[in-house]
Amino acid sequence: MKRVVAFLLLISLFSCKEVSFKEAQPVSRRPLVSVPKILRGKYLTYKENGELAKDTVIINSMGYRFGYFSPEERTKATNQYDDGVLSDSMVLKSYKGYYFLSLNQKPEWILRVIKLQKNGDLLYMAPEQPGVNINEYIKRLSTLMPVDSTRVNDKTIYQIDPSPQQLIDLIEEG
């Protein structure tokens, strides 16, 4: 049976400017050695307009594989599948009912948060906020915690170092 994941395409993981982290999150939690059984399965995705897509995400014990339904999309992709395996550069942690997927994009860690819904769907969250100016977002975030900025290869990187509870508070505040 296929379930649905409110999913931002993995291809777009690295396309937007967003706040990142110095370490895999939450810092005090140990990485999981495999993906919990409750998260494993086949999931359909949503399109940007909110309609159900035919692309499929398959989550197995060691990671994920994203399969493109459209032959045109498969042709554009460098591989038939976008995939990821738990490793030192893709870390999954669990804390207070959330799963934290940290992706090492040296010199920063990009964070995605996964929440299992009661109906079996997955909610897949990213820190960027569509339609919100990054400078306004940083200004608002800096009222809650320090935000470091660094220039790397002509690009500004914004990083935070929240406690596990601050991370939960950020998620629950939207």
CA atoms 88, 109, 99, 131: torsion sign: negative
> CA–CA separation, 11 vs 68, rounded Å?
11
| Cβ atoms 160, 147 nearer than 8 A | yes
At 148-162, the pLDDT tens digits run 988 888 888 899 999
C-alpha neighbours within 13 Å on the C-beta side of residue 110: 17
> CA–CA separation, 44 vs 63, rounded Å?
16
Question: Environment class of residue 58 by beta-carbon count within 10 Å: exposed (0-12), middle (13-18) or buried (19+)?
Answer: middle
pTM reported for the whole predicted model: 0.81
At 35-86, the pLDDT tens digits run 999 999 989 888 778 888 888 889 999 999 887 666 666 566 655 557 899 9
Domain that holds residue 109: 3-173
> CA–CA separation, 4 vs 56, rounded Å?
9
Domain count, the chain: 1
